[in-house]
């Protein structure tokens, strides 16, 4: 069967395919019969691998996708009279079609932030009416690392947020759909930006870093997972052939002497974003709007050229009013993808003038 080839672009790291090492791991797991529903040896090895990265106390559970990871992570520690605080840019708020509100029944409260990063100061204004029976009670803070605007929290910033959360009897959840990109950007391991900072629960992604599908909910403190396994089943996220998610995580995170592909893939995607950002910065018609700290570049591009540029390499217009665009790189972005895009932009600037309207 010949598949339709989609042009490579900067639409999303979800647009890229599966890393060959991960495909190989899937094929290697595709032998014999093993027990189902997470009781197989590959799943046990993958949960060990996750403990290696997050610490001995980490308890992990696999699910099919990132929305489920977020909703289940929060759903297992919240009740319907609770609320969770998240940045106005959070995936949880904008891209989960109300799943947290529908399934947990709780409120998701949007906190204003320029660069999609939360601070204790911004959160403090939402800690009101505690104990008031008329008001949804704040139970958790959810941050995204790296953020939806491609910015990265430092370990110190996360530690401050965890301390703030715990001082106020709240839990800190990290949407880590791209946690590996943040760790690679900071030059640290996964535990240095989670467990060691006092984070309570992580939604750990792999799909954007070369997996086919599958995410993990990782509880970092003992006794917090509560009724997770029952709720996961009720919410239809218990994979019967869990070994195929687990095998991908093993190839991603490594085990024994193998380091897995996560850091290599993430460093590459991040480096490609840096290259794109630096080259865009030199184009007079472009204004970079966010720091490029992971694998996404945010920039205002001339509205009149967006159509032509998208024909060269697709990207999303993030803000229809300002024409701020998101250009995202992936583990398989090639320098030539970037150079071709920049050549097109420079050609438009040359032919039509960088500031013509
Ligand atoms: C920040 C963030 N969180 C979570 C997800 C996971 O979403 P999905 O349910 O599509 O796997 C995504 C996917 O794009 C994301 O960007």
Each of the 357 residues of the chain gets a pLDDT tens digit; together they read: 556 666 899 999 999 999 999 999 999 999 999 999 999 999 999 999 999 999 999 999 999 999 999 999 999 999 999 999 999 999 999 999 999 999 999 999 999 998 999 999 999 999 999 999 999 999 999 999 999 999 999 999 999 999 999 999 999 999 999 999 999 999 999 999 999 999 999 999 999 999 999 999 999 999 999 889 999 999 999 999 999 999 999 999 999 989 999 999 999 999 999 999 999 999 999 999 999 999 999 999 999 999 999 999 999 999 999 999 999 999 999 999 999 999 999 999 999 877 655
Give the rounded distance of the alpha carbon of 275 from its chain centre.
21
d(CA 306, CA 224): 47
Q: Write down the pTM of the prediction.
A: 0.97
> How many angstroms does the Cα of residue 84 sit away from the middle of ligand 1?
18
Sign of the CA dihedral running 46, 49, 51, 53:
negative
Nearest CA to ligand 1 atom 7: 66
Nearest to 143 by CA among 80, 197, 188, 62: 197
d(CA 327, CA 311): 14
Pocket lining: 59 vs ligand 1, CB cutoff 6 Å: no
Beta carbons within 8 Å of 95's beta carbon, 6+ residues apart: 67
Pocket lining: 145 vs ligand 1, CB cutoff 6 Å: no
Sign of the CA dihedral running 113, 114, 115, 121:
negative
Q: Which of 295-323 are b and which e, b meaning 16 or more Cβ less than 10 Å from the residue's Cβ?
A: bbbbbbbbeebeeebbebbbbeebeeeeb
- Phi (first) and psi of residue 61, to 5 degrees: -140, 135
């Amino acid at each position: 069967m010949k598949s339709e080839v989609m042009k490579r672009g900067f639409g999303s790291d979800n647009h890229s395919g599966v890393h060959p090492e991960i495909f190989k791991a899937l094929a290697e797991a595709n032998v014999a019969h093993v027990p189902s529903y997470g009781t197989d040896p590959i799943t046990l090895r993958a949960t060990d691998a996750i403990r290696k990265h997050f610490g001995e106390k980490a308890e992990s559970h696999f699910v099919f996708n990132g929305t489920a990871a977020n909703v289940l992570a929060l759903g297992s520690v919240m009740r319907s009279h609770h609320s969770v605080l998240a940045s106005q840019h959070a995936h949880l708020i904008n891209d989960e079609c109300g799943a947290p509100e529908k399934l947990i029944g709780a409120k998701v409260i949007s906190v204003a932030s320029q660069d999609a990063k939360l601070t204790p100061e911004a959160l403090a204004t939402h800690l009101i009416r505690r104990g008031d029976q008329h008001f949804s009670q704040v139970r958790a803070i959810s941050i995204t690392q790296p953020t939806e605007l491609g910015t990265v929290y430092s370990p110190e910033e996360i530690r401050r947020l965890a301390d703030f959360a715990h001082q106020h009897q709240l839990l800190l959840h990290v949407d880590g759909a791209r946690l590996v990109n943040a760790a690679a950007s900071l030059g640290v391991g996964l535990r240095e930006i989670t467990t060691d900072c006092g984070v309570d629960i992580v939604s750990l992604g792999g799909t954007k870093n070369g997996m086919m599908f599958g995410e993990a909910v990782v509880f970092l403190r003992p006794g917090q997972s509560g009724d997770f396994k029952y709720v996961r089943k009720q919410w239809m996220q218990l994979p019967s052939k869990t070994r195929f998610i687990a095998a991908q995580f093993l190839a991603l995170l490594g085990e024994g002497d193998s380091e897995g592909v996560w850091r290599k893939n993430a460093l590459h995607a991040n480096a490609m974003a840096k290259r794109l950002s630096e080259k865009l910065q030199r184009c007079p018609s472009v204004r970079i709007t966010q720091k490029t700290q992971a694998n996404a570049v945010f920039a205002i591009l001339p509205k009149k050229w967006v159509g032509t540029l998208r024909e060269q390499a697709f990207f999303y217009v993030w803000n229809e009013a300002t024409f701020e665009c998101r250009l995202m790189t992936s583990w398989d972005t090639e320098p030539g993808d970037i150079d071709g895009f920049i050549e097109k932009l420079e050609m438009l600037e040359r032919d039509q003038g960088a500031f013509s309207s």
